[in-house]
Amino acid sequence: MRVFPAALLLVVSVFALSGCAQGGTKVSAESTVPLPPTSGTFDYQLGEPYDIDGGLDVVARDATAAPDSGAYSICYVNGFQTQPGESTAWLHERSELLLHDAAGQPIVDPDWPDEYILDPSTAEQRDGILDVMAPIITGCAESGFDAVEIDNLDTFTRFDASTSGGGAGIDESGALELAAAYVDAAHAAGLAIGQKNAAELADRGRAELGFDFAVAEECGAYGECDAYASAYGDLVLQIEYTDDLAGSPEQVCADDSRAPLTVIRDRDLGAPDASDYFRLQC
């Protein structure tokens, strides 16, 4: 892992707070982790990694990819749903950790039909999920990443009792307990950790759960950028997509509420040789 100037180091010292998340979510972690730069060049490369002329200052890549040795590299981890390609293993080996409907069938995300929904509602389920996910976070550190972003924090809001086919749905306090556990795991590995999306949880994500920065997809399209800025200041990495822009790319970049590091990408996050590749950094 690269050494960053002392000015970029954050001493995280978050203790049990009053007004914690439902169920008593508390954070007790002390760690020194490098924060992402708030200026320079940024790219979001969850599809196929590639190099940029002149290099990058910040880049996000999948946990299965190699970090960019010259940039602050963020490791993507799907923390609340199964990864495509791994769903069968979860179904056959860890079915008790998945959310089920009233008929006992595991629930999939209709927008991502190759992803099952994890259910962190009980302490036993959270422990089981962490047995699988914590080594992935540690692996990000061992590979040379500087931070992780944990995707789908908002899954519990989309799969509550009213939307789970008659099932119980995901317990909110359990989901936030798992998020706090991910924060602890990242800090223990020497990594910063980013809150991915869930603008409505930005204040709690920063103050209660202990996230260090935010990764905000389409906050411009949904008018949510101010919520992230209120919680994280300039420590927000913003990604907008060409198929759902709030105006032209130039108008998106001219928006005063956008994050200092904002990039507009094609939805598939393809490499430059892809037919629909698009990348414009504001």
Residue with the bigger pLDDT between 25 and 262: it is 262
Distances (CA, A) of 165 to 107, 109, 117, 172, 281: 8, 12, 13, 17, 41
Identity of the residue numbered 129: I
Q: Does domain 6-281 have CATH number 3.20.20?
A: yes
Instruction: Give the type of residue at 157.
Output: T
**Which pLDDT belongs to residue 161?**
64
Query: Which pLDDT score is estimated for 220?
Result: 96
Looking at residues 130-153, what average pLDDT do you find?
Answer: 97
* pTM of the complete model: 0.87
Q: What is the DSSP string of 154-206?
A: THHHHSSGGGSTTS----HHHHHHHHHHHHHHHHHTT-EEEEES-GGGHHHII
| Whether pLDDT at 219 is above 50 | yes
pLDDT at position 13 is 38
Q: Cα separation of 207 and 21, whole Å?
A: 11
Phi-psi category of residue 197: left, alpha or beta, with phi > 0 → left and psi -120 to 50 → alpha: left
β-bridge mates for residue 236, sequence order:
214
In the chain, the amino acid numbered 281 is Q
Higher-scoring residue by pLDDT: 7, 80: 80
Q: List beta partners, residue 237.
A: 215, 261
